[in-house]
Amino acid sequence: MDVKVSSAKKIRGSVRTAGDKSVSHRYAMLAGIAEGTSEFENFSSSADCASTLGCMEALGARVRRNGNHVEVDGVGGTLQAPARELDCGNSGSTMRMLSGVLAAQPFTSVMIGDASLSKRPMRRVIDPLEKMGARIESHDGCAPLTIHGAKLKGMVYEPPVASAQVKSCVLLAGLFADGETSVIEPVRTRDHTELAVKAFGGEVLREGNRVSVRGGQKLRAVKAYVPGDLSSVTFFLCAAALFPGSNLVVDSVLLNPTRSVVLDVLTAMGVKISFISVEEQFGELVGTLKAEGDVFKGGVIRGAESAALIDELPAIAAVAPYSAGGVEIRDAAELRVKESDRISAVVRNLRAMGAEVEELPDGMRIPGGQKLHGARIESFADHRIAMAFAVAALRAEGETTITGAEAIAVSFPEFFEALGKIVE
């Protein structure tokens, strides 16, 4: 699907997104293994989270969905052997995190994905799960994964790369393992799994960058509202950054401190962000914020900031040429093993629009003060690349065509509709 995007003059209005993907994934998995019926409002509309629901249903949970309202009848900890392969679609979150649950089950299961997911590295979850006692077959460290479940033993694991998905995988396996399981992170990552386990009545201990769970815990169903996806909101915040005088209100968005680094970074780059309201729901901070466009200054993103912003970096990079001082992104090699090589994809598309950009092994250097023109942009079957360049097109001269725009359904199928409502 091709979508044409024309230049704009300003961003103004209000927007509310469907539920956060990260929270929705975890709620769906924990609801499936909990006792009782869980109900979720504003559950993510993404294809990725639909994949998670489908897998949980294949494992014995009963799922009922009416739009963004989802009900899940849990199995009380005893999953059933799936009658077919578990199709994770394009969702690395589904495959990596659910593998931790499956590794502890008394049956064999096979997890598959689409062509893109089948190229993404899974050794990072295979290794710790095998150390806990599971046996996993893969295709050179990639999907499909054949997981031979086993009685797992708790352990202390130090992942070589900071990854919320790897941490979550090990912690979810730890809920079924003998003894205590701990993950010591090199850099603290998003803590949605820890908060979700607590929401379902479980116990999680955190000491610095060490997080632990004990096996044999019983989880209980919950009724919860899933706050709006901050990673999706980032695209609209970057759009507001492009135009001084823009005024955007975002309702009921997730403000988890391990995710809200993007707000700090964009504020430092010149976007005026203020909070209208903030409250806590099941340990997650949720609020309404206002973003006003001013002078978009640019800056340097590296180290722990890069790890915390890994999903938001494509959006920031795509608008970086319009900044006053440019943007440099380092320590973000993880971008190369996402749905696409996001470093290469951003660089190629920016150059297609006439931008000067230097590609680096672990990021990119993008000078500011540039003028871009409309072009034919390739999504590379990557939802974040498609959305990032739809935003970049708003300030380009002429019309831009986003090819493969259907990829956005993976995370935010309502994106173009929402964008159209706030563009002037």
Q: Which residues are catalytic?
A: 311
Phi, psi of 22 (to 5 degrees): -60, -45
- C-alpha–C-alpha distance, residues 58 and 79, integer Å: 9
Q: What string of H, E and C letters represents the secondary structure of the chain?
A: CCEEECCCCCEEEEECCCECHHHHHHHHHHHHHCECEEEEECCCCCHHHHHHHHHHHHCCCEEEEECCEEEEECCCCCCCCCCCCEECCCCHHHHHHHHHHHCCCCCEEEEECCCCHHHCCCHHHHHHHHHHCCEEEEECCEEEEEEECCCCECCEECCCCCCHHHHHHHHHHHCCCECEEEEECCCCCCCHHHHHHHHCCCCCEEECCEEEEECCCCCECCEEECCECHHHHHHHHHHHHCCCCCEEEEEEEECCCCCCHHHHHHHHCCCEEEEEEEEEECCEEEEEEEEECCCCCCEEECCHHHHHCCCCHHHHHHHHHHCCCCEEECCCHHHHHCCCCHHHHHHHHHHHCCCCCEEECCEEEECCCCCCECCEEECCCCHHHHHHHHHHHHHCECCEEEECHHHHHHCCCCHHHHHHHHEC
